[in-house]
Amino acid sequence: MIAIINYGLGNLTSILNMHKRLGIEAIITNDPQELQNADKLILPGVGHFDKGMQNLNQSGLTGLLNQLVLENKKTILGICLGAQLMTRKSEEGVENGLGWLPADTIRFNINGNGSLKVPHMGWTDLAIVQESPIWQDLPVNPRYYFVHTFHFKFDNASFVTGQSTYGYEFACAFQRENIYGVQFHPEKSHKFGMKLLENFARLQK
């Protein structure tokens, strides 16, 4: 069973409906016992970095997630803001992130390119740069739907599994052991998004 974490931000119903279409059991919850009992977790998110961390901290979910993910090694997928919250910090705010990755979240810097606007919004090709089970049976360059002003910046590329280009190449997918993250919205990305969520749900621990 997949637990979609409800901390007040994110396309929760869209993600749940995608799992229903796939025939995969999933629930939307912030109940600690249900999160502990789940096979896997999804941390979604749309909105401001500081608001996301404040909601996690005030709800008591930060400590629980650290225990489940870092100590118990429960598999988790971060989506958009949810993935950004896994980094150390963001240029969008002042709150500390979860710090699960050697990475920060930075704003797009495409000054001088008048043809490109921020936020980056729309369908964009992804280049798979490192093997990961979430890419199983996907083409080399799948297309995903993005809506974001900020992106991941890793200390090194060892955890980056996917890159896209918007003015310049940027990391848009990562894996660190049991921790997965994507900047795009699989729940809005039709067949490519469905396949990624199916691959995540089928992961063997």
Burial of 140 (0-12, 13-18, 19+ CB in 10 A): exposed
Taking the C-alpha atoms of residue 149 and residue 182, their distance in angstroms, rounded to an integer, is: 14
Cα R_g (the chain), whole angstroms: 16
What's the N-to-C CA distance of the chain in angstroms?
Answer: 13
Q: Which listed residue (80, 92, 151, 198) is catalytic?
A: 80
- Residue 187 bears catalytic tag: yes
Annotated active-site residue 80? The verdict is yes
* Known active-site residue 120: no
State the pairing for strand pair 169-176/179-182: antiparallel
Annotated catalytic residue, options 19, 148, 187, 198: 187
Quickly list DSSP for 114-148: TT--SSEEEEEE-EE-S--GGGTT--SS-EEEEEE
Q: Is the bond into 119 cis (omega within 30 degrees of 0)? A: yes
Q: Cβ(194)–Cβ(188) under 8 Å?
A: no
Q: Which positions are catalytic?
A: 80, 185, 187
